[in-house]
Chain A
Amino acid sequence: GAVVSQHPSWVICKSGTSVKIECRSLDFQATTMFWYRQFPKQSLMLMATSNEGSKATYEQGVEKDKFLINHASLTLSTLTVTSAHPEDSSFYICSALPGMGEAFFGQGTRLTVV
Chain B
Amino acid sequence: GESVGLHLPTLSVQEGDNSIINCAYSNSASDYFIWYKQESGKGPQFIIDIRSNMDKRQGQRVTVLLNKTVKHLSLQIAATQPGDSAVYFCAENYTGRRALTFGSGTRLQVQP
Judging by beta carbons under 8 Å apart, are A40 and B43 in contact? Answer: no
- In the complex, what residues of B have CB within 8 A of residue A34's CB? 98-100
Judging by beta carbons under 8 Å apart, are A49 and B102 in contact? Answer: no
Judging by beta carbons under 8 Å apart, are B99 and A49 in contact? Answer: yes
Q: What secondary structure prevails in chain B residues at the interface with A? A: loop
- In the complex, what residues of A have CB within 8 A of residue B89's CB? 43-44
A40 to B101 CA separation, bound complex (whole angstroms): 18
A4 to B44 CA separation, bound complex (whole angstroms): 11
Closest A residue by C-beta to B45: A105
A44 to B98 CA separation, bound complex (whole angstroms): 15
Report the stretch among A14-22, A74-82, A95-103 that lies at the interface: A95-103
- Distance to closest chain B CB from A100 (angstroms): 8
- Distance to closest chain A CB from B102 (angstroms): 5
Closest B residue by C-beta to A4: B43
Judging by beta carbons under 8 Å apart, are B99 and A46 in contact? Answer: yes
The number of residues on chain B lying at the interface, defined by a beta carbon within 8 Å of a beta carbon of chain A, is 25
The number of residues on chain A lying at the interface, defined by a beta carbon within 8 Å of a beta carbon of chain B, is 30
- In the complex, what residues of A have CB within 8 A of residue B99's CB? 34, 46, 49
Give the contacts of B1-42 with A (CB-CB under 8 A). 1-3, 5-8, 34, 36, 41-42
Task: Give 29 A-B contacts (CB < 8 Å), ordered by A residue.
Answer: A1-B46, A4-B43, A34-B98, A36-B102, A41-B5, A41-B6, A41-B8, A42-B5, A42-B104, A42-B105, A43-B102, A43-B103, A44-B102, A46-B99, A46-B100, A90-B2, A93-B43, A95-B43, A95-B100, A102-B34, A102-B49, A103-B34, A103-B46, A103-B100, A105-B44, A107-B42, A107-B43, A108-B42, A110-B41
The residues of B with any CB-CB pair to A shorter than 8 Å are: 1-3, 5-8, 34, 36, 41-46, 49, 89, 98-105
